[in-house]
Amino acid sequence: MLRIYNTLARDKQEFTPIVPGKVGMYVCGMTVYDYCHLGHARVLVVFDMVYRWLKASGLDVTYVRNITDIDDKIIKRAAENGESIHALTARFIAAMHEDADALGVQRPDHEPRATQYVPEMLEMIAQLEQNGLAYKATDGDVNYAVRKFPGYGKLSGKSLEDLRAGERVDVTDSKHDPLDFVLWKHAKEQEAAEVKWDSPWGKGRPGWHIECSAMGSRLLGQHFDIHGGGADLQFPHHENEIAQSEGAQLVDGKHGQFVNYWMHNGFVNVDKEKMSKSLGNFFTIREVLKKYDAEVVRFFILRAHYRSPLNYSDMHLDDANQSLNSLYTALKHVPVEDAAVDWNEPHAQRFKAAMDDDFNTPEAMAVLFELSKQVNSSKSIEAARQLKALGGVLGLLQEEPVERSQRPRNIVMEANIVLEGVTANIAVATYTSESINNLIDARTAAKQAKNYAEADRIRKELLAAGIVLEDSASGTTWRRA
């Protein structure tokens, strides 16, 4: 039985879908004005893992991950670049898809864009106005009247009083309450035509939070199962989504429930500080993928629990790389075709128990390592199949191990390693597999002639280029260090 940590309850709860066997899941995706960084990678990978596990559990999942393609930052960036909003967002949506695909993230079932749902947003704003929760302010914006919504603060655990006491809340004259937020921003003279939509409140564009409420309700219904996103969205974004979506539903004077389970993933940190644009301590996904395999990055993300902080550094990625290699090495020695998981087998049961406990991927991975140990010592095909199949549940271990071990590294930085006292530059790619095989043949001949000096010379020559030779009963194979 799956248990999920529900931010709304601040506790793990048994997961019960609204409609038995079906799950509606919505995750806040990107605002597309720049390349995705590792923080975005974590959301993508974590909820991809959740999506996969729900499906593996036999549930019929509808996964929606939105794209915010209209917002202040987008408008600003487009103006800076002297390009249209559409050109800008199209570019970064394509880039995001490249990054997500590389990380083995499955496409969601729906990927709605804010600009395609403006009518739904207007409909919701009208409903809020009708329910007495929205008002047109003197400056022309339509605002949400926070104090009129009874449950405001229930997700983030903040009271209106606490929030007002905060030093950093903007005070705008046109708002009835400083905490009121904008549903519809009135159009400004200087803004381009492509950011202006007609509405009953005049020309304008949507506020930040309304798009998720409108798209979620449209695609998953007014009441759905899971809503996820980064922990920083808890307040105000998700709090406001609740206010909007529940505020718009009013039956017999009572507001309906919007989402049953709220999930929030932890941040990616650099030197213990949150990776963020303002601090300038972020690494884009594509930047990191120049140095590390995408699967290593995915492994790195999933080896920590999704709610824990995740500290990024090259050292940690190197460590993740070594760990993942060892799993692949086990599969290299016992090659298997694709296979389904045997869920009755003890490892799979422990894996399932871990995943069912709020998606405990570190525990699930520990099972993978124990399985790999069994593969190494027993050479069991069944164990190897199980290892690959369980890895597949996490979106890992699906590459061909030998091919993977011989693929040239896409390392751009100078990277030296020391093996056997030889300093190897693993960026050197001067040896083709053909030339390597020729050298292996020459070395085999030298070995047969008991000319070990020559055999060792060849081995060290290759080692200096980051190529490791491995002798076995069935001959010599090679891999990149």
- Site residues for RNA, 59-78, by CB under 7 A, read 71, 73
Are 302 and 365 spatial neighbours (Cβ–Cβ below 8 Å)? yes
Q: Identify whether the C-beta of residue 77 lies closer than 8 Å to the C-beta of residue 18.
A: no
Task: Tally the residues of the chain.
Answer: 481
Give the shortest CB-384-to-RNA separation in angstroms: 13
Q: Using the 8-state DSSP alphabet, how is residue 207 labeled?
A: -
Query: According to CB under 7 A, which one of 45, 49, 118, 163 is a site residue for RNA?
Result: 163
Q: Which of the stretches 48-56, 82-90, 213-221, 464-472 binds RNA when contact is defined by CB under 7 A? A: 464-472
Residues 6 or more apart in contact with residue 355 via CB below 8 angstroms: 2, 53, 361, 364, 393
Residue among 17 and 206 whose Cβ is closer to RNA:
206
Q: State the helix-helix crossing angle for 433-448 and 452-464, rounded to 10 degrees.
A: 160
Where in 416-445 is the site for RNA (CB under 7 A)?
Answer: 419-420
Q: Does residue 380 belong to the site contacting RNA (CB under 7 A)?
A: no
- Count the site residues for RNA by CB under 7 A: 86
In the complex, the smallest distance separating the C-beta of residue 168 from RNA, rounded to whole angstroms, is 3
Number of H helices, E strands in the chain: 16, 19
Of residues 269 through 328, those in contact with RNA by CB under 7 A are 269, 272-278, 303-305, 308-311, 315-316, 319, 322-323, 326
Which residues within the stretch 106-125 sit at the binding site for RNA (CB under 7 A)?
A: none
From the list 98, 178, 118, 114, the residue with the least C-alpha distance to 143 is 178
Given 26, 201, 261, 267, the residue binding RNA (CB under 7 A): 267
Binds RNA by CB under 7 A, chosen from 1, 10, 280, 344: 10
Choose the binding region for RNA from 31-39, 120-128, 191-199, 425-433 (rule: CB under 7 A): 31-39
**DSSP string of 120-166?**
HHHHHHHHHHHTT-EEE-TTS-EEE-GGGSTTTTTTTT--HHHHHHS
Instruction: Tell the residue number behind the tokens 């708002």, with chain if given.
Output: 175
Closest CA to 156 of 259, 244, 253, 235: 235
Closer residue to RNA in complex, CB, 68/260: 68
Q: Which of residues 228-247 bind RNA (CB under 7 A)?
A: 229-237
Residues facing residue 480 across a β-bridge: 467
The stretch among 34-42, 94-102, 142-150, 432-440 that binds RNA (CB under 7 A) is 34-42
* Identity of the residue, 42 or 404, whose beta carbon is nearer to RNA in the bound complex: 42
Q: Tell me the closest approach of the beta carbon of residue 241 to RNA, in angstroms.
A: 11
